[in-house]
Amino acid sequence: MKKTAYQVPELRDENDNIIQEGTFGKKSAFVNSTNQGAFDYLLNNLEALHDIVTGAYLVFDSKDKFPTAGDTAKIYVANDDGKAYKWNGTEYVYMGTESTQFTALDVKKLKEAAASSANAASSSQTAAETSEANAAKSQQSAASSAAAAKASETAASSSATSAASSASTATTKATEASNSATSAASSASTATTKASEAKTSATSATNSAIAAASSAADAGVSASSASTSAADAGASASSASSSAAEAEASRQAAKESAQNCSDLYAKAQVTEGKPYFFLNAEGQISIRYNLDTTEAEG
């Protein structure tokens, strides 16, 4: 079958009563050799519905209201009789038999669909204009964003360079800090050693001070002893002088005693006495002799 306008289907209720007459229905063959079966009508109606949705149907009050020259891609519907026509390039050609004509309800629906399509088209046009304006704004925003992105990229590159420099500086500072820490540790060790040496020196100084104090005390004692010794030496010198004098006196006395002894001995020899020497009770040398019957001691 050739493409026609929308074909109304037959409808039945639950009791199999026809509630809407139609071009095809329950008793129509699904397919046949002339391609006018129910399946073909279904395909035709899908195409018709597609045309309605896409605005291919144009509804006018009557055929004489159609444009002088039509569009081969459109279907023209006369509202007064519901018939549909196509423009073949020279004239409007009726698309079907009487059984395929539109009912008044179909025409009304088509008219409403056309009005709805017109409104939708107007809304679409407005939406398109709004979208176009939004697209322009978006384009401007995109350009601004691209410029901002470029600036951000440049800033990021600069930041990366700065970060790399900062990282290098941080590494250098970390090395210096490590070296400083090592030096500090060495200095601390040296300071500990010096502190220990200072402590030892302080102890030595204390011991030296104690020794010095002890030496000073000993020096004082030695000085006192020296003074005493000097005094003793003076006394000894005096005693020595006295002893020397006494010795001289003793020598003189001994000399005199010897002389006396010599004299007495000579005298005794002359008088034929019997002299003899002895030590008296005081340890002195004495001579005893008998002279004139008288005992004399010298």
The share of the chain scoring above pLDDT 70, in percent, equals 70
Q: What is the pLDDT of residues 227-263, one digit of tens each?
A: 776 787 677 677 767 767 876 876 787 677 667 666 6
Name every residue whose Cβ is closer than 8 Å to that of residue 112 and which is 6 or more positions away in sequence: none
User: Among the residues of the chain, which ranges form H helices?
Assistant: 38-53, 104-270
Name every residue whose Cβ is closer than 8 Å to that of residue 87 and which is 6 or more positions away in sequence: 69, 70, 71, 72, 74, 76, 93
Q: What is the pLDDT of residues 125-144, one digit of tens each?
A: 776 687 678 767 867 876 88
In total, the chain counts a number of residues equal to: 298
Where do the domains of the chain lie? 11-141, 251-297
The span from the CA of 46 to the CA of 16, in Å, is 25
The span from the CA of 30 to the CA of 196, in Å, is 118
Q: What is the pLDDT of residues 189-205, one digit of tens each?
A: 887 888 788 688 778 77
How is 149-171 classified by DSSP, letter by letter?
A: HHHHHHHHHHHHHHHHHHHHHHH
DSSP 10: P
Specify the pTM.
0.30
Instruction: Check residues 195 and 207 and name the one with the higher pLDDT.
Output: 207
The share of the chain scoring above pLDDT 90, in percent, equals 15
**CB contact at 8 A, 96 and 5:** yes
DSSP 101: P
**Which strand (E) or helix (H) includes residue 287?**
strand 285-291
Phi-psi region of 170 (alpha: psi -120 to 50; beta: other; left: phi over 0): alpha
- At 272 the pLDDT is 46
Report the amino acid identity of residue 44. N
Report the amino acid identity of residue 28. S
Distances (CA, A) of 82 to 20, 94, 102, 127, 171: 17, 11, 5, 33, 91
Q: Are strands 57-60 and 75-78 parallel, antiparallel or unpaired?
A: parallel
Residue with tokens 């006495």: 273
**CB contact at 8 A, 1 and 24:** no
- At 200 the pLDDT is 84
pLDDT at position 97 over 50:
no
When computed from its CA atoms, the radius of gyration of the chain, rounded to whole angstroms, is 82
Q: What is the pLDDT of residues 173-183, one digit of tens each?
A: 878 877 877 87
DSSP 103: P
Instruction: Check residues 161 and 201 and name the one with the higher pLDDT.
Output: 161
* 207 confidence band (pLDDT: 50, 70, 90): confident
Using DSSP's 3-state secondary structure scheme, residue 279 falls into strand
pLDDT at position 43 over 80:
yes
